[in-house]
Amino acid sequence: MVSTIDLLPNVSYGMLNQATNGFSQGNLFGSDSFGSVYKGVLHPKETLIAVKVLNLQHKAASNSFMAECNVLRNIRHRNLVKILTCSSSMDYAGNQFKALVFEFMTNGSLDLWLHPEIDNENQSRDLSLLRRLNVAIDVASALNYLHNHSVPPIIHCDLKPSNVLLDNDMVAHVSDFGLARLLSTDDSSQKQTSTIGIKGSSGYATPGIVFQILFKF
């Protein structure tokens, strides 16, 4: 399989370092064991971006990077996060650097709306039942596309509220395909075995996320 790095326009470490103000804590948007996500502005077009920097100390991070690249290079849907470019280079210290660059979702993750920070006085987030229903429909639409209209079919494997992002119009976009699986359309045995076992975060396998969206008050 041809590497996605050869198919997408590449950006340098320096460009992303500048865009995120040196990957500053003030621009840190979230993190997990696989890496950290930073908000940034990519010059010269002043494009608002989210930069997912892989933690290459984690033994599975490189595989996660390639898995996400291979999934996102061929899929397009209004309810999937859009990848803009990627970076595979060296940082200023000569260390290997890998990052994915996405369009920035101004309203953050669904998780932040379902579990607002009580100590944040400026946070006034509320999801009405109608808005929750719309988000659930958006997520279902994304999954329908991945399972039934993508070639090959794609299984997300880690669908949870923190991986559902909301844009300026509160339209939901499914993100984080680091654990996703591509299923062969020609080999039925692979289809059957690819989904054996539970991957990703426990408690969020579908339809668990639907209950989270609709019934978390």
Domain spans, the chain: 4-103, 110-215
Span of 11-20, 32-41, 142-151, 186-195 with lowest mean pLDDT: 186-195
Element of type H or E holding 99: strand 96-103
Q: Mention the CATH class of domain 4-103.
A: alpha beta
Task: With beta carbons less than 8 A apart as the criterion, state whether 17 and 99 touch.
Answer: no
Q: What is the pLDDT of residues 175-211, one digit of tens each?
A: 988 777 888 666 444 443 333 344 545 444 555 555 5
Mean pLDDT value across residues 3-8: 44
Residue 123 — pLDDT band, cuts 50, 70, 90?
Answer: low
What pLDDT sits at residue 138?
Answer: 97
Which residues is 101 bridged to in the sheet?
A: 51, 85
Q: Is the pTM of this model over 0.85?
A: no
Task: With beta carbons less than 8 A apart as the criterion, state whether 75 and 25 touch.
Answer: no
Tokens standing for residue 56? 């290459």
Fold of the 110-215 domain: Transferase(Phosphotransferase); domain 1 (1.10.510)
Clarify whether 158 is annotated catalytic: yes
Write down the catalytic residue from 158, 169, 186, 187: 158
